[in-house]
Structure 1
Amino acid sequence: MDRGLTLDRIAIQKGGAPLVALDRHIAPGEVVTVMGPSGIGKSTLLSVVTGTLPPAFSFTGRVRLDGHDITDEPPHRRRVGILFQDDLLFPHLSVGANLAFGLAPGGSRAMRRNRVRQALADVELDGFADRDPATLSGGQKARVALMRMLLSDPCALLLDEAFGRLDTALRAQVRALVFARARDRALPVLMVTHDAEDAAAAGGEIVTLGA
């Protein structure tokens, strides 16, 4: 089985006009960064992988994950995790309940509590399970969003300007955490960003759209 994320001759069109074309294989633990100006189609490319391409667009090509063709699978069955610029935590849920949302249904209540507790410990947020997300700092929210996504056991990770709202010092810290977790879990990572420091920190191939 060909492990990793394969974008097999993906070509996106809008109104019949070519927008983005990419043909790449991303190995487990590898990061491929896609850069380019706003509006060129970076986030649209990610929506092809997640199965959420807006109706105004069309595409050809296939998306494969760990050897399985997921092109026609519904989004919830693709096992693709994504982090956005906004943390998108549920404001009406506690930190622990936000994390539990990432877990697959089933398992005992004690098992689910233990997984949430361990996830918080992994990012140095012990004891935060009952906290209101509104009381967290930007960096703490980013860590909770990351662990919620990882608790869903994804097979690939997409980053959509994921570090854009963080200040410089915090950006470097959270970025290092995300890349380390992806390597530890052997996740192929596709990152879109306009920030050259993000691309350099990723250490992998850089694809520049519109160049």
Structure 2
Amino acid sequence: MSAVCNKMLALGEEDLRDKKHLALSAGTELTAATSELCRALELAEHGDGVNAAAVYAAAARDRLDNAARMLARVGDILATGTLTEESASWYRRLDYDRLYRSGLSLGQVPHSIELWQAFARQAAKGGPVAICRDMRGRTVAVAALIGDWLERADGPGSDGELLRIQSAMADLAAYAQFVAFANKVEPRDPAWLTPLGSAVA
């Protein structure tokens, strides 16, 4: 998000540096959480049972908690900047459908139109700040699902709950891919705008 924020928000050099470090660290934690959760699912299905799976699930939750804290700090830094009316208008008028199709054709975004539309609504509503806060909210939600599962891992239906967590984690990873892809667009590039009157609602 650094290149976008450099042009869209008036942030100081120190804030930009801190934001970049925090965002990269949050991404690392999300990747690690995905790995920990995959291991938990593997153990629950084929390995040593729920107790061993719980160890990795707890590690995944801790990673997500770390990522959420970092994203909260990123959001706070972004909120100190100023999104000009020109930049806000650009986010509202960005042709998100065309951008999504471009990402699919390049193999850089997953097939998930509903999730993309959710991302587009956040971007159109509030630019980088809204996107970051939505990403954090989704991260917190997955961590909470894991926490709920850990409290009743020995109970009936726990396997089904793990699959639900896996699906939520996949959506979170997809959302992160959408953010990364959209950040490659040159800020305020008019080539990606929709005609006036047909922007995202």
TM-score greater than 0.5 by the shorter chain: no
Q: TM-score, normalised by structure 1?
A: 0.27
The structure with the largest alpha-carbon Rg is 2
Greater percentage in strand: 1
Q: TM-score, normalised by structure 2?
A: 0.28
Greater percentage in helix: 2
